[in-house]
Structure 1
Amino acid sequence: MITTILKAADEKKAFDIKLLDIKKLTTITDYFLICSGNSERQVKAIAKGIEEKMYKLGYILKNKEGHNVGRWILLDFGEIVAHIFYKEDREFYNLERLWVDAEDIDVDKFITYN
């Protein structure tokens, strides 16, 4: 599941991709994927790419927020919640600061960059 969601974000040119292990800090989910896009259109494309890839592999999307606006889209797959941000909104909300005690997982072991 982790590899699928990370590769889907990477394929749509998401940048500054972070994977936070929060399972020791909360019961809402195990991981947060946080990534950015340069435009609302790209943010929507990243979200759509993730949604389609996860669906093809049988993962159920439990909730989806923010797609109409395209500045912060949340995709809840249960054990992973993806936060896809327009870059300025990511800086403003700064989820990484809010979850500073989370373990930052090295995404390079899941994604092979060209």
Structure 2
Amino acid sequence: MPDTLTQKQKLEIIVKALDSKKAEDIKVIKVGDLTIIADYFVIADGTSSTQTKALADEAEYKMQENGVTPNRVQGNNGSNWVIIDYGDIVVHVFSKDQREFYNLERLWRDGEDVDISEWVK
């Protein structure tokens, strides 16, 4: 199935999937003007390695339901940081301490915060 979803639709699917599994502090940062890595970073954290994996699995599952498969997934197996690379969107799911340590929000502070309030409960 061709990738027919818009970036906004993909972001909405990912954010809603993370929110449905109780991800903490979900952020979407538009970084396309700053890097060729991706157009958007989605960042969230879980309260345990089990939840971190469940969050990543749910985001990947919901995207696959919509015909979108990741280019790469790194860091499963009880990891404290899972990266799901969709090319234009990269999803980072951290444990809380790993998120604080890497502080991607600070690294990418010149990026534009995306309003996701309509997608989260």
TM-score bracket, normalised by the shorter chain, equals over 0.9
TM-score, normalization by structure 2: 0.90
- Which ranges in structure 2 are unaligned for 5 or more consecutive residues? 1-9
What SS does the aligned partner of 2:117 have?
A: helix
Q: 1:96 to 1:53 in 2, by over 3 A?
A: same
1:5 and 2:14 equivalent? yes
4+ runs deviating over 3 angstroms: none
User: Using the alignment, how far apart are the partners of 2:92 and 2:72 within structure 1?
Assistant: 12
Residue 4 (structure 2) aligns with = none
Corresponding position of 1:46: 55
C-alpha distance in 1 between matches for 2:20 and 2:88: 21
Matching residue within 76, 79, 82 for 1:70: 79
The sequence identity of aligned pairs, in percent, is 46
> Is there any run of 5+ residues in structure 1 with no aligned partner, and where?
none
Matched letter for residue 61 of structure 1 = P
Between the two proteins, the alignment pairs up a number of residues equal to 112
TM-score (norm 1): 0.95
2-side partners of 1:27 and 1:48: how far apart? 25
Paired residue type of 1:41: T
Matches within 5 A, 1:1-114: 1-109=10-118, 111-113=119-121
